[in-house]
Amino acid sequence: MRNHPPADYDAYAGDLFGEIALADRLPAAVDRPLARFVPGVVVCVIAAAAAAWFSDHYGPPVILTGLLIGLALNFVAGDPRTHEGLDAISRHGLRAGIVLLGLQVTLAQVAAMGALPFAGLVLVMGGAVLAALAAARATGQSSSVGLLAGGSTAICGASAALALYGVIGRERVDQAQFTLTLVVLAAASAIALATYPVLTAMLGFSEAQAGFLVGASIHDVAQAIGAGYAISDPAGAQATVVKLTRVALLAPLVALAALGIARLHPVAGTGRAARMPLVPGFILAFLSLVLFNSLIPVPVSVTEAGLVASKGLLLLAVTATAIRTRTDLLLRLGWRAVVPVLAATLASLVIALAFAGWAL
């Protein structure tokens, strides 16, 4: 990171949010060619392509595969020449990928869900957040860790985690905890994909009940929809509506997190009032794209291309984040660090099961 005092960079080294903040303070790089991004970008693209190939041929979730391959390539980040490319992908890939998710949701889809299923979905999401907050408190962790785990579980897994981390900040949740949260989210979603359809059959759920259950309780968008269609086409259609409604609620959740995080977990020792993060611009762009998609018919080919681009950009962002993570810090976290995500996942399943069995 030329043109910056070493101490300034060291304060943020290996930290996604810190790198975003530092990048915002960079002067115009008129004397620094675009070639400075090439080493990091090339490494990340190769790792993400390997993850996509492995997932396509052998079946594991692509986000989980990208995380694991990125962590295995952690040593690459020891070369300073990779830093700027990895940082740029982490920052801009994340934002663009989340914005493009807006092409997958319309307000009409949310309205078509109906009042009763929507109320049940709100209960599931609220229960996930409260369970994660309670688990974080019980294991001696901060409320920010609980909010990250609960909010990510409640909405859409890795993409929600990336969005929430932008407003929670590195001063509240460190990079190692954030990466571990991504790993556990991806693993839990993969397990749910394999087991929840079997569970609905064992319980004798109708197609509407089964679609609600998997749509309301599985984190990852593709896996929630895939689990629905593994049951039946009507269950898949119901799961799609429920899951996309959760995605549409990403913007309100991040806005609430931005408003409440300073009160939940003020930053100590700053000598000033706790920073209240603003709602990120990319979340407002996501919401704007949802509104645009609701008001103006978008061709199916465009929405399909947007979904492919969104998944690709989020895979790149997650892979870059994993490469920049110090694995020794992950090992130090211990079992308590995974409890909030597990608590939120279990709460989502239990509440969704109860609501589907009782009200639908």
pLDDT band at 124 (very low <50, low <70, confident <90, very high): very high
- Each residue of 131-150: pLDDT tens digit? 999 999 999 888 888 999 99
| Tokens, residue 264 | 């939940």
| Of 158 and 57, more confident | 57
More confidently predicted of 15 and 73: 73
Q: How far apart are CA 234 and CA 271, in angstroms?
A: 57
Q: How confident is the model at residue 265 (pLDDT cuts 50, 70, 90)?
A: low
Q: With beta carbons less than 8 A apart as the criterion, state whether 94 and 280 touch.
A: no
Per-residue confidence band for 51, with pLDDT thresholds at 50, 70 and 90 = very high
The predicted structure's pLDDT at residue 52: 92
Identify the band that residue 174 occupies on the pLDDT scale cut at 50, 70 and 90: confident
C-beta separation of 357 from 209 below 8 A: yes
Query: What is the rounded CA–CA span in Å between residue 142 and residue 181?
Result: 14
Token pair belonging to 69: 């391959």
Average pLDDT over residues 232-246: 84
User: What are 303's two structure tokens?
Assistant: 């929405």
Q: Which two tokens stand for residue 313?
A: 């950009």
| 232, pLDDT greater than 80 | yes
Q: Of 1, 78, 87, 74, nearest to 41 (Cα)?
A: 87
Percent of the chain predicted with pLDDT > 90? 18
Indicate whether 42 pLDDT > 90. Answer: yes
**Tens digit of each residue's pLDDT (9 = 90 or more) over 286-324:** 888 888 988 888 888 898 898 889 888 888 988 888 888
- Tell me the pLDDT band of 9, cut-offs 50, 70 and 90: very low
What is the pLDDT, as a whole number, of residue 32? 60
Can you tell me the mean pLDDT for 344-352? 94
Q: Out of 107-121, 274-288, 339-353, pick the least confident.
A: 274-288
Whole-angstrom Cα distance, residue 321 to residue 325?
Answer: 6
The single-letter DSSP state of residue 269 is T
Rounded Cα gap, residues 269 and 253, in angstroms: 28
Q: What six digits make up the tokens of 349?
A: 């399943």
User: In sequence order, which ranges of 37-114 are alpha helices (DSSP H)?
Assistant: 38-58, 62-72, 83-88, 94-100, 107-112
Q: Between 237 and 283, name the one with better pLDDT.
A: 237
Looking at residue 314, what is its pLDDT?
Answer: 83
Residue 12 has pLDDT above 50, yes or no: no
Among the residue ranges 23-27, 189-193, 234-238, the one predicted with the least confidence is 23-27
Q: Which two tokens stand for residue 243?
A: 């899951």
Residue type present at position 279: V
40-62 average pLDDT score? 90
What tens digit of pLDDT does each residue of 151-170 get?
Answer: 989 888 877 887 888 788 77
Beta carbons of 85 and 149 less than 8 angstroms apart: no
> pLDDT: is 6 or 41 the higher one?
41
CB atoms within 10 A of CB 117: 23
- Residue range 89-112: mean pLDDT, rounded: 81
Distance CA 45, CA 319 (A): 9
- Report whether 261 contacts 148 (CB < 8 A): no
Q: For residue 273, name the pLDDT band (cuts at 50, 70, 90).
A: very low
Say which amino acid occupies 260. Answer: G
